[in-house]
Chain A
Amino acid sequence: MSKFLGAGLPGLLAMTCVIGGCYGEIQGDKAGSPTVPGPGGSVEGLPEGQTVQTAQTALPRSGLRRLTQEQYKSSVTDLLGDNLDLSLSLPADQVAEEGFEFISVGASQVTTSGLGVQQYDAFARALADQVFADVTHREAFVGCTSAALSDDCVTSFLQRFGRSAFRRPLSDEELARYRQLVNQGQLQFDVWRGLQVATTAFLNSPNFLYRVEVGFAAPQLAATYRLDDFEVATRLSYLLWNTTPDGQLLDAAAAGQLAQLDGLRQAAMRLLDAPRAEAPLVQFFSEWLGFKNLDQLPKDPLAFPAYTDTLRVAMRQQFERTIAGDFLRGNRSLMEIFSTRDTYVNFELAKLYGLPGITGSEFVRVTFPSDGPRVGLLTLAGLLAANSRATMTSPTLRGRFISERLLCRPIAPPPPNVKTSLPPPPADGHIETMRERLTRHATDPACAGCHRQMDPFGLALEHFDGVGVYRELDQGQPINTSGELDGVAFDGAIGLGALLAGDPRVASCVGRNLARHAWGQAEGSDENWIFDILSQRFAGSGYSFKALVLDLVTHDSFRFSGGPR
């Protein structure tokens, strides 16, 4: 047995003795916890009366997750230091397309091609070249001087750097393999060259390039795998800091602390409270809610002359500042995202929103007028622009966004062989509003079913044009923004927002998306029990997003798996 698997033993021991708090849902240790379907089973080693619910309940599978471009760069920076040239190309990230677009999920699906392998190889060599370029730098990196470059020093460097690069201790076999590589370099050139070659190989190894979240079969729990403590540390670190685990986290894994719920919670809180957690969590929101797409979003300059490259960037920043300031640092109830009038704008956005007196390109905190049309997420220009066409609004795209991203209600793609263009204007010259045009389009029964699930939401937002500017009229006609959601009537963006804020599906959808992002895969239909639990706790915390993150990472689904993918 390699050291690698051996490192998980403290966790295993902790499991068999079932010290309080080491299981979570498996043990059913939380008051009011699992509304889990199905009977529990009794398992050897558990105290009388305890049941193992996880064993009977589906868990997401797990496996290899390739580092995203950003994760690769932040990891090598943490491993090798700042001031590295990171400009070479890396294999492209893959965007998942299952009603959400997380690259964290694509990273579990993407295959590395010959081109990709060559890119990784070139990048690793370039990095090692830089680190070993001069004597001072390489001595500091390896931790020995040329004069004292003993065998022991080489071995301890391999162990230390290997643990950082692979995010777990090297097995004996691996240590021997990399030691052999150093010898080869020494044979051809000198020992420094050998160390450089080993460094290159560490950075080029699948053990570095892929996060391994395989785990090992937990013998006490049927059909359940338990992630190794180092794998849990890795999952946690990339979720919260988007980089390789630091020494402290690896030490906690080595000491078996992450096998204990308390230890895991403590480690998670340290990461979550650090400033470094902010950008990765904001990025989660940007991917989930599509603000990331503003980076590449074109608009027709004739239709929207005010839409500039700086404006679309500002739209994204407005959202991201709100998330960071109000919902991460401020820890407000996330459901207030639908009702808040507090926001951040610069002069370009202020002009779009009709807010007077703001002149600089710096962002300032403002409150939208209490009698105005701007309230919450649904009225943010970025959301409205990202879910519109280049020349006009699209109630269908906006409605699909609300259905898929906020309610987690997927919409099937259009049936084959239908014309998805909106019909041309009527020949008699009658000018139609968007609602009239869409209604005419959706008369086809093949289309109507899905359009009914999308269009009413989007039509509620028709007071905002294709870049989110408020308008009283559409084509010179008054705008009807009424609709209904599962039998409940609403009117306009404010009415719809209020309805969504109180809809339990929205709260549950937050947890779903966070879980997809954290697990690196879509949930299966029999994993709904997890979101029931997360939703309950989310509500219990007053919809604190940080509390939700903490609940997710301490939930069994984060540390156990349904088996290798």
Chain B
Amino acid sequence: MILIPRFRLSRRTVLRGAGVCLALPLLDAMLNESGTALAQGAPLPKRLGVFFWGNGVRPDRWRPSGGGTDWTPSEELMPLAHLKQSVSVLSGMEVKFDGTAHHRGRAGILCGAYDVNAGMYGQVSGPSIDQVAATAWDGQTPFRSIEVGISMRSKGGVNASRASGGTAWSGPNQRVPAEYSPMALFERLFGSQFNGDQTDEQAKRELMLQQSILDTITSDAKALTQRVGAVDKLRLEAHLDGIRQLEQALASADRACIKPDVSGDPAVDLGHEMLDERNELIAEIMSRALACDLTRAFSYEYTGMQADTIFWQIGATEGSHVMTHDDRNLPDMLEPQTEKVHQSVVFTMGHFAKLLDKLEAIVEGDGTLLDNSCIMACSEVNDGTVHTYDSMPLLIAGRAGGSLNSGVHYQADHENATKALLTCLRAVGLPLDSFGVAEGQVSESIGALEA
């Protein structure tokens, strides 16, 4: 079977026709003369991203003073001060679900959907917003979405994915895991497989053979589906979906992108994670992938829910989740752990700022890549020490191509947090009537943030 690519921006044609050098930002080369749309007439793509960190904030040091466009960044938001015009802060947005600590907050803030009765801790019962967008845009880009992670220490510090972990879901309890290795991510997106010049006869044949392999294992998977029970059917369907995603990537193997410079992975040392190095590389790859339109939806798990990341960079010696619950009792160490928790939030926001800086540095049309994005940054809990969900830490970065006001401190009072999710989804062009389920369901977005 010869695959007919569903995706083709004809970059090569555009690039050759314009006679431009490949080192130019790709999308610039593909813009129309007024710089407001792609040369083929399609509007500039909008992107939707999620940036997640675990264990919440120190609420009194997170909430900015002032409101509307007249506000002053708090201590924990200071690392984002230079991006103030591009970032909105949402206060008083509440996750309404009852259920297990952390779990209900994560499901609520990422998916607006939580089933308290499923599994040991309740389960996510709908897709996260990045996957909602990925599904809506499926077929338009080589990768339907990209999921990355920075800290590899999960709850309890174990470096294996826990059944209850995760930051992205394509459906109820259908977790989409993150890639933590910059090298593997680079290979996945920009690797030699995708260097093929499809005018080259040899490369064409290689791709056809690869497609034949995927056809074969697709048949295997479908045959197996006939034999298994309901739960395993879903698992095999997810596997088949993964095969289709790979086919999609292969169909657009003929790429001209500016590649990020990645020469190796930071060492994996879970006692001393190289968060700076890993974040720098992953943010660089992510920004290049978005610039090249390899995907439009992403999830960026800085630290996972309840993560036990050790922020040794600020002098912490225990996991971050433990820190929120463990008062020291060593005679000489009576500094409350809450101070370290605060410092870890500042550190995290510094790394979020680095990602945003990279997106802000990529020019698209008369704005930047960040301007064409809606990136929701959030955690699963407000005050991690006592598990509150009344005012979730919530930021929205970017203008979604002009659909969003940015630089606003929106002050709500116990408003359903799902409104923020729906706001982001509508801003990137998804015409949803409502979003979320049960207590998480809303049909209103946040008008004050909509341009």
Contact = CB atoms under 8 A, between A and B. Distances in A.
Interface of A: 61, 63-64, 88-89, 91-98, 101, 103, 106, 109-119, 121-122, 173-174, 177-178, 180-181, 184-185, 188-189, 193, 197, 200-201, 204-207, 210, 212, 214, 293, 295-303, 309, 389-392, 413-414, 416-417, 419-425, 437, 563-565
B162 A181 contact: no
Given A302-B333, A416-B101, A565 B213 contact: no
A63 B159 CA distance: 26
A174 B317 CA distance: 55
Interface stretch (B67-75, B174-182, B363-371): B174-182
A390 B271 contact: no
Nearest to B243: A117
Most chain A CB within 10 A, of B100, B191, B388, is at: B100
Given A118-B242, A297-B157, A391-B318, A63 B229 contact: yes
A358 B227 CA distance: 59
A193 B329 CA distance: 66
Given A111-B175, A118-B246, A173-B223, A96 B101 contact: no
B121 interface: yes
Interface stretch (B15-23, B49-57, B82-90, B231-239): B231-239
Contacts of A98: 120
A184 B227 contact: no
B6 interface: no
Interface stretch (B214-222, B252-260, B285-293): B214-222
B42 interface: no
B150 to A, nearest CB: 15
Interface in B147-165: 147, 153, 156-164
Contact of A417 (B101, B158, B220, B245): B101
5 contacts: A106-B160, A110-B235, A174-B220, A391-B330, A424-B327
A393 B224 CA distance: 50
Contacts of A302: 317, 330, 332-333
Contact of B385 (A118, A173, A419): A419
A188 B201 CA distance: 10
A298 B219 contact: no
Contact of A298 (B175, B181, B213, B318): B318
B239 A206 contact: yes
B241 interface: yes
Interface in B190-206: 191, 193, 205
A197 B231 CA distance: 31
Interface of B: 98-101, 104, 120-121, 143-145, 147, 153, 156-164, 174-179, 181, 184, 187-188, 191, 193, 205, 208-209, 212-214, 216-217, 219-221, 223-224, 227-232, 234-236, 238-239, 241-243, 245-246, 249, 270-271, 310, 317-319, 322, 325-330, 332-333, 385-388
Contact of A92 (B145, B161, B325): B161
Nearest to A303: B330
B388 to A, nearest CB: 8
A185 B211 CA distance: 11
B271 A117 contact: no
B163 A94 contact: yes
A389 B161 contact: no
Contacts of A193: 209
Nearest to B215: A181
Given A106-B163, A115-B188, A206 B232 contact: no
Contacts of B228: 63-64, 212, 214, 564-565
Contacts of B327: 421-424
Given A64-B235, A205-B220, A389 B249 contact: no
Given A63-B231, A413-B100, A89 B329 contact: no
Nearest to A105: B163
B434 to A, nearest CB: 26
Nearest to B173: A111
Contact of A93 (B99, B161, B174, B243): B161
A188 B245 CA distance: 24
A111 B49 CA distance: 22
B216 A177 contact: yes
Contact of A184 (B100, B209, B238, B329): B209
Contacts of B224: 64, 206-207, 210, 212
Contact of A391 (B164, B242, B328): B328
Given A64-B224, A118-B242, A212-B228, 7 more contacts: A113-B177, A118-B245, A188-B209, A302-B317, A309-B271, A392-B330, A563-B229
Contacts of A389: 318, 322, 326
B239 A117 contact: yes
Contacts of A416: 98-101, 104, 387
Contacts of A111: 174-175, 234-235, 238-239
Given A197-B213, A296-B157, A413-B100, A420 B325 contact: yes
A177 B317 contact: no
A564 B227 contact: yes
B121 to A, nearest CB: 7
B271 to A, nearest CB: 6
B101 A184 contact: no
Given A111-B174, A114-B241, A298 B227 contact: no
Contact of A204 (B143, B217, B322): B217
Given A173-B223, A298-B318, A114 B242 contact: yes
A254 B231 CA distance: 29
B229 to A, nearest CB: 3
Contacts of A200: 213
Contacts of B325: 420-421
B245 A298 contact: no
A230 to B, nearest CB: 13
Most chain B CB within 10 A, of A121, A200, A299, is at: A121
Given A117-B246, A173-B223, A416-B101, A189 B162 contact: no
Contacts of B205: 188-189
Contacts of B184: 88-89, 119
A423 B160 CA distance: 32
Given A95-B163, A97-B164, A293-B156, A205 B175 contact: no
Most chain A CB within 10 A, of B205, B220, B318, B325, is at: B220
Nearest to A297: B157
A94 B161 contact: yes
A277 B240 CA distance: 34
B160 A114 contact: no
- Top 4 nearest A-B pairs (CB, nearest first) are A564-B229, A117-B242, A114-B245, A390-B318
A326 B305 CA distance: 40
Nearest to B216: A201
